[in-house]
Amino acid sequence: MSNTLGKHIALTLFGESHGPQIGAVLDGMPCGIEVDEKSIAAALTRRRPSGRGETARVEQDNFRLISGVFEGYTTGEPICILIENSNVRSGDYDRTHLLARPSHADYVSHVVHKGYEDWRGGGHFSGRLTAPIVALGAICGKALEKIGVGVATHILSCGTVSDQSFDGVDYGKLDSQIHLILESNFPVLSDIQAQIEAQIEAARLNQDSIGGVIQTAVSHLPAGLGEPWFDSLDGTLANAILSIGGIKGIEFGLGFDFKSATGSSCNDEFYASPEGVRTYSNNSGGINGGYSNGMPVIFNCAVKPTPSIAREQRTIDMATGENATIKIIGRHDPAIIRRICPVVTAMTEIVICDMLKGAFSNSIFEKK
Amino acid sequence: MSNTLGKHIALTLFGESHGPQIGAVLDGMPCGIEVDEKSIAAALTRRRPSGRGETARVEQDNFRLISGVFEGYTTGEPICILIENSNVRSGDYDRTHLLARPSHADYVSHVVHKGYEDWRGGGHFSGRLTAPIVALGAICGKALEKIGVGVATHILSCGTVSDQSFDGVDYGKLDSQIHLILESNFPVLSDIQAQIEAQIEAARLNQDSIGGVIQTAVSHLPAGLGEPWFDSLDGTLANAILSIGGIKGIEFGLGFDFKSATGSSCNDEFYASPEGVRTYSNNSGGINGGYSNGMPVIFNCAVKPTPSIAREQRTIDMATGENATIKIIGRHDPAIIRRICPVVTAMTEIVICDMLKGAFSNSIFEKK
Amino acid sequence: MSNTLGKHIALTLFGESHGPQIGAVLDGMPCGIEVDEKSIAAALTRRRPSGRGETARVEQDNFRLISGVFEGYTTGEPICILIENSNVRSGDYDRTHLLARPSHADYVSHVVHKGYEDWRGGGHFSGRLTAPIVALGAICGKALEKIGVGVATHILSCGTVSDQSFDGVDYGKLDSQIHLILESNFPVLSDIQAQIEAQIEAARLNQDSIGGVIQTAVSHLPAGLGEPWFDSLDGTLANAILSIGGIKGIEFGLGFDFKSATGSSCNDEFYASPEGVRTYSNNSGGINGGYSNGMPVIFNCAVKPTPSIAREQRTIDMATGENATIKIIGRHDPAIIRRICPVVTAMTEIVICDMLKGAFSNSIFEKK
Amino acid sequence: MSNTLGKHIALTLFGESHGPQIGAVLDGMPCGIEVDEKSIAAALTRRRPSGRGETARVEQDNFRLISGVFEGYTTGEPICILIENSNVRSGDYDRTHLLARPSHADYVSHVVHKGYEDWRGGGHFSGRLTAPIVALGAICGKALEKIGVGVATHILSCGTVSDQSFDGVDYGKLDSQIHLILESNFPVLSDIQAQIEAQIEAARLNQDSIGGVIQTAVSHLPAGLGEPWFDSLDGTLANAILSIGGIKGIEFGLGFDFKSATGSSCNDEFYASPEGVRTYSNNSGGINGGYSNGMPVIFNCAVKPTPSIAREQRTIDMATGENATIKIIGRHDPAIIRRICPVVTAMTEIVICDMLKGAFSNSIFEKK
């Protein structure tokens, strides 16, 4: 179903950018998970515009858990979260809503919804809808933390600046890297925040926007999480993450660099360790045959430049079907790459919880 | 469900590499689609080893449609296809089946199935299982052809050799390219077959294997095929295609090259044409906001080198849990890049039929 | 998924009896359906306690549509409705919440949720959760009305009083009957309201409760709505309707009276009429082989007596696991049979919309 | 999906009455379940016509497990079973296939499949398709037996003859009753076989058919099996079982007899026993709030008279749309009530395995 994701733990998303509230329902979470409103707020803060070169619409993200949580713990029933839409300036959009913004969803939304769509601020397609995903991801993150599984996402490259990669073979090092990202207000492993911000600011001054690549790691997954053939671990992650606006590609392990690899250079040979079966290298990104193999799961996502730019662009007027030009006035990020990291982390946390429950039932979350 | 894919038209896969038969059920196909056994056989031929540097196991792929087809047309009921497993040499595997082949699914299968798995020839994880997918994809392909939609996949790069890309803006040129691939016995757009075969043969002589990138185009999809947020056109394709062994990444349009793009250089501006709304460029790969936008849908997949290589590799003995070495003796391709093209095409055809039915019901297949 | 129902139009339910709000999301409704808040309010009124012998908790049912509706019409995106929980007297339950009420869900909820459940007023299992179902059913009902399909439910029997049946062969008569029920504040076809109310009042005075049978009709469905084998029209309705607390059986057409029938007496013979193929009798309840056959769809549901009675009952204390007695103090209906009728109607409307969309796509709802 | 049932263990059905083979795939069964071909054959024998007054088409039911079973145990991968269609006399149907048999699926199938349907012998709608269900149910039955869960179905009434009921409160007595049914070749608890056979023979001589009611018990289910609201234990069973041709109603516990019950007479009061929480009575049929409550699950199904009778009946000619008469010549049972019992048992076994896996994961099947 189009707005529901997951088989054992299901996320249902609703709301529009300029409606009274947006929200989501997370159904199937095991009971007895401690719900910490501070960690939800912290995750929402990581997603919020910083004010530094990013969209001037600052959402307060006041949220309310209206079901599924009782006396500080999940009950096992559906968790509904509502987030207020404040600071809405619909006026920015009024003049242009029948001009399809290039590389946005306006045109396809108009085709599908035949003019009935709530077009204000991108409506249901707005990046604003990622806020409830991030909030519910934080609850899943707590459930995962309890059983030792960590998830984090950092900027691997933005414009011409590159970060180092997550360590795919040494859990000790990876744990430190994940911890660093989760504590930081700018998701990079190296000291490159200033360089990235400079690139973004340069794009903004140039009435332009830039893209990049982000990288996600999942630590300490048990081997055997996945499904044969369909609904594999990689396929399920890809389906979830490609639903995030702006993500146009996903690769696991070596990914597209396999094109210049050979079997002898890139096969991940096994060895026995005190912690269990391990591989010397991790070009597979922790996944074989659609299942986790016990090594860190590591994948990269391509992020396109924000399509909303201040320059005049050619387009069509959807009311008349004729050619037109558009100059987008609203408040927009020249790069979403920082803010998209916690969204991909949240989606990953939700998918991993869903698949763990599918494979092992709620009982896996009761482990110490 | 792990071996069923699709919501409106569902593919269910069964069988093992060395069982008596493998097969699949395709449920939900509209009635009245002509079933042409020759086109099924042709698709299976495109997937079969050529004998030139590829696995010496030549499967005859004798197939039988045992349900859902009556007097040459689909009935609308589930179509079950069975394919004989002949030319099985289980002996090749007997000695080594408790040695996990690196970068294969043997280890995760053993973890999940606790020793009960049919380990012969990779069992249910074998690439052999792609044969029924290709066969049923050919039926979907006929349904799509009837309504003017074409699907084809070619080798974009292999080792150091690169092919030209599908044309993403001119349907006339793209139609010719798709036609060329479907008529050819080696899926490339340029005259590079000999160069690619040379690279593969070099890898084989070196007891090694190589990877590459393949590219798929879908032509003439109506705008508006997809879903908001989840089960998007790109997410659904990614989930299906990542289930194919050996595929480790997928990117739409510019994909990972968005990292060095700017909004002003890569946004796809709209214009009105006699054929409908079009974009000047197609960096989005024909997809905005999870929906087709009426332009060609174009995506690339990363293919890893075949993990079965003849060199000795380090591994573990799954019976004892101890370190060991393995030298793989069976018959294996040093590159699956040619044979994987019709598999990705078939998966794409199945997904597109499924999504078209979901969006427009069976009636869309009655056009023309 | 446990709190989501439907494949093409999906209902997701959330909330607890004594939480701040309860609600539901309806995802997949076609765009362009007029949303009439008055008809939603009217449906909620039909479900609300009358004050005559029914529970003294009178809910105002203030509702708010927070997404999916724009300028009075559905947008095609998920519709979220929230209903305030006011008039909550949790004190009634405090003393007894670890005493499992007989024939209630308290015990199973405690087993499943391990003490984390929100036990106040039955929590998520409360009949209160049927309010959002009724509200969203009213939106579906409008969509059906637009294409000429009617749904209504009446009390067929309660205690010793019986009503006449819906007419299963004459659409003219059935249309009048459905109209009568939808306009009435007490859902019976005959002049038996006073007799039924007398029976209910007698039960109340006797600190007891009574059950009954209700009957639902769906008019003017096209032939061919359903699925072969699984997810049949009857099976899908049964799954949805048995989820309503208090319903313990469902029968289609002659149902359990088939036990004393013969093929020659109960087969529904076909004939050609100007309106299409019809049957002389309708013992099949409008369904053959899991599909609608063009005749009225008619089914009955068994409703058990309200399990909450004021008499002392034997039970267990879930805290100690020991035997105990309980005397239920809260405000409860001695019969839910009147109030359950609009709930079954709403569930039926939702299921029928879902299946119509599945079979014919959104385009069926665009018919005049 | 129309021909796939189940979320965690999924049954996919394919084939037509007069095709070469029929079959089914069972996906998701845990690995390590012993597969006993004799118990499969025994189940198929219970479903087969006895020759005593039943259809003269005697199917040998030669079956072959072509995947998912290795060295006598399930592997955890999809199990495909194929059953040969022998003894096919299509000639019986040739003359009449455009005359819709009253109360059969011929008409709706023709509407849905627009003339492309395989009409021979009812095609995909034939009761013949229940054979693979019974075969795979036998595998599920073995898995359940291993963990102490028993399932059996008997004839509760046929024509004017009634059997005693399953014992709903005493597991010792119920276990004996289930054992008796599973060992018997005629599923009744009392000595009434001859009376039932006499009624059926009388119907046959009268060119007529008769219906009845059957009753199913599931023993020793753990409390808490089910889901809140949707996909409840009762709803899921109902959806599965109503898919069987000829079943027109289902009731749990007291079912439709709740109409003349009062809360004080029918509430099931709890008590603590050494075996766990029990209820004094079991009018709820072992289900509260959609979950098993630890008591025996007991439900009844209404079975309509076989619609194929030898008398002339009025119908329409689907080729011309005109009125016509039909005299059905094929070989048909005047009562399916005996043969339908193992089918309902098999469906129940499949559903219970599916739900157990969903609630507790594969690990529940490893007990003992």
Q: Which of C3, C23, C70 sits opposite A27 (nearest CB)?
A: C3
Q: Which of A77, A228, A359 sits opposite D361 (nearest CB)?
A: A359
Confidence tier at C56 by pLDDT (50, 70, 90): low
Place of tokens 């960690």: A39
Confidence tier at C119 by pLDDT (50, 70, 90): confident
Q: What mean pLDDT, rounded, does chain C reach?
A: 92
Inter-chain residue contact A359 with D363, CB threshold 8 Å: no
Place of tokens 């590219």: B215
Q: Which pLDDT value is given to residue D31?
A: 96
Q: Which pLDDT value is given to residue D54?
A: 54
Segment A10-26 shows an average pLDDT of 96
Neighbours of chain A (3+ CB pairs under 8 A): B, C, D
Query: DSSP labels for A129-140?
Result: GHHHHHHHHHHH
Per-residue pLDDT for A55 more than 80?
A: no
Chain C positions in Cβ-Cβ contact with residue D314 (cut-off 8 Å): 269-271, 280
Interface of C with B (CB under 8 A): 7-8, 77, 228, 358-361, 363
Q: Which pLDDT value is given to residue B333?
A: 82
User: Which H or E run includes C216?
Assistant: strand C212-219
Per-residue pLDDT for C54 more than 60?
A: no
Segment C44-70 shows an average pLDDT of 79
Counting as low any pLDDT under 50, the low residues of chain B are: none
Chain D positions in Cβ-Cβ contact with residue C155 (cut-off 8 Å): none
Q: What mean pLDDT, rounded, does chain A reach?
A: 92
- Coil/strand/helix, residue D363: helix
Q: Which pLDDT value is given to residue A90?
A: 55
Beta strands (DSSP E) in A121-260 are: 150-158, 161-162, 212-219, 247-252
Cβ proximity of B203 and A87 under 8 Å? no
Q: Which pLDDT value is given to residue C58?
A: 59
Chain B positions in Cβ-Cβ contact with residue A208 (cut-off 8 Å): 262-264
Sort A175 into a burial class: Cβ within 10 Å, 0-12 / 13-18 / 19+. middle
If you count residue pairs, one on B and one on D, with CB atoms under 8 Å apart, how many are there?
159
Q: Which of D4, D102, D309 sits opposite C230 (nearest CB)?
A: D4
Confidence tier at C55 by pLDDT (50, 70, 90): low
Chain C positions in Cβ-Cβ contact with residue D307 (cut-off 8 Å): 263, 267
Question: Which of D201, D250, D327, D332 should we substitute to test contact with C (largest number of C Cβ atoms within 10 Å)?
Answer: D250
Counting as low any pLDDT under 70, the low residues of chain D are: 1, 51-59, 87-97, 330-331, 367-368
Tokens, residue A161: 């600046």
Beta strands (DSSP E) in chain B are: 4-5, 10-14, 21-27, 63-67, 69-70, 73-74, 79-84, 150-158, 161-162, 212-219, 247-252, 270-273, 276-279, 287-288, 291-292, 297-303, 312-317, 322-327
Segment C138-153 shows an average pLDDT of 97
Neighbours of chain D (3+ CB pairs under 8 A): A, B, C
Distance from CA of C64 to the nearest CA of A (A): 10
Confidence tier at C366 by pLDDT (50, 70, 90): confident
Inter-chain residue contact C230 with D2, CB threshold 8 Å: yes
Segment A292-311 shows an average pLDDT of 97
Q: Which pLDDT value is given to residue C121?
A: 82
Q: Which pLDDT value is given to residue B2?
A: 86
Q: Which pLDDT value is given to residue B58?
A: 59
Chain A positions in Cβ-Cβ contact with residue B295 (cut-off 8 Å): none
Confidence tier at A54 by pLDDT (50, 70, 90): low
Q: Which pLDDT value is given to residue C94?
A: 57
Please report the ipTM that was assigned to this predicted complex: 0.96
Chain A positions in Cβ-Cβ contact with residue D77 (cut-off 8 Å): 228
Distance from CA of C3 to the nearest CA of D (A): 5
Q: Which of D234, D286, D347 is closest to C239 using CA atoms?
A: D234
Q: Which residue of B has its CA nearest to A111?
A: B224
Up-side HSE of residue C274: CA atoms within 13 Å toward CB?
Answer: 0
Distance from CA of A351 to the nearest CA of C (A): 15
Cβ proximity of A270 and B314 under 8 Å? yes
* Residue scoring higher pLDDT (B103 or A94): B103
The dihedral sign for the CA sequence B90, B95, B100, B103? negative
Inter-chain residue contact D359 with A361, CB threshold 8 Å: yes
Interface of D with B (CB under 8 A): 1-4, 6-8, 10, 12-16, 19-23, 25, 27-28, 31-32, 64, 66-68, 70, 73-80, 82, 112-114, 116-118, 123-124
Q: Which residue of A has its CA nearest to D77?
A: A228
Per-residue pLDDT for A104 more than 70?
A: yes
Inter-chain residue contact D270 with C243, CB threshold 8 Å: no
CA distances from A155 to A193, A235, A301, A308, B265 (A): 10, 22, 10, 21, 22
Q: Which residue of A has its CA nearest to B304?
A: A258
Distance from CA of B8 to the nearest CA of D (A): 7
Q: Which of D7, D228, D361 sits opposite A361 (nearest CB)?
A: D361
Interface of B with D (CB under 8 A): 1-4, 6-8, 10, 12-16, 19-23, 25, 27-28, 31-32, 64, 66-68, 70, 73-80, 82, 112-114, 116-118, 123-124
Q: Which pLDDT value is given to residue A58?
A: 59
Distance from CA of C220 to the nearest CA of B (A): 21
Q: Which pLDDT value is given to residue A332?
A: 75
Q: Which of D3, D208, D228 sits opposite C262 (nearest CB)?
A: D208
Q: Which of C77, C9, C11, C136 is closest to A123 using CA atoms?
A: C77
| CB atoms closer than 10 angstroms to residue B185 | 9
Confidence tier at A227 by pLDDT (50, 70, 90): confident
- Dist. CA D174–CA D165, nearest whole Å: 10
Q: Which domains does chain D have, with CATH numbers?
A: 4-366 (3.60.150.10)
Inter-chain residue contact A27 with C2, CB threshold 8 Å: yes
If you count residue pairs, one on A and one on D, with CB atoms under 8 Å apart, how many are there?
15
Distance from CA of C257 to the nearest CA of B (A): 32
Q: Which pLDDT value is given to residue A257?
A: 97
Chain A positions in Cβ-Cβ contact with residue B293 (cut-off 8 Å): 107-108
- Dist. CA B36–CA C85, nearest whole Å: 61
If you count residue pairs, one on A and one on C, with CB atoms under 8 Å apart, how many are there?
161
Chain D positions in Cβ-Cβ contact with residue C269 (cut-off 8 Å): 102, 313-315
Q: Which pLDDT value is given to residue D92?
A: 52
- Dist. CA C172–CA D271, nearest whole Å: 54
Q: Which of A203, A256, A266 sits opposite B256 (nearest CB)?
A: A256
Chain C positions in Cβ-Cβ contact with residue D323 (cut-off 8 Å): 271-272
Instruction: Write the CB contacts of A112 (distance below 8 Å, at least 6 apart in sequence).
Output: B224, B291, C31, C76
Confidence tier at A121 by pLDDT (50, 70, 90): confident
C-alpha radius of gyration, chain B, whole number: 21
Question: Which of D67, D227, D361 should we substitute to test contact with A (largest number of A Cβ atoms within 10 Å)?
Answer: D361
Segment A102-125 shows an average pLDDT of 91
Chain C positions in Cβ-Cβ contact with residue B363 (cut-off 8 Å): 360-361, 363
Segment A45-61 shows an average pLDDT of 69
Chain C positions in Cβ-Cβ contact with residue D292 (cut-off 8 Å): 108
Per-residue pLDDT for C36 more than 80?
A: yes
Q: Which residue of A has its CA nearest to D7?
A: A7
Q: Which pLDDT value is given to residue B121?
A: 82
Inter-chain residue contact B116 with D64, CB threshold 8 Å: no
Inter-chain residue contact D114 with B32, CB threshold 8 Å: yes
Neighbours of chain C (3+ CB pairs under 8 A): A, B, D
Distance from CA of B134 to the nearest CA of A (A): 14
Chain B positions in Cβ-Cβ contact with residue D117 (cut-off 8 Å): 31, 70, 75-77
Distance from CA of C352 to the nearest CA of B (A): 16
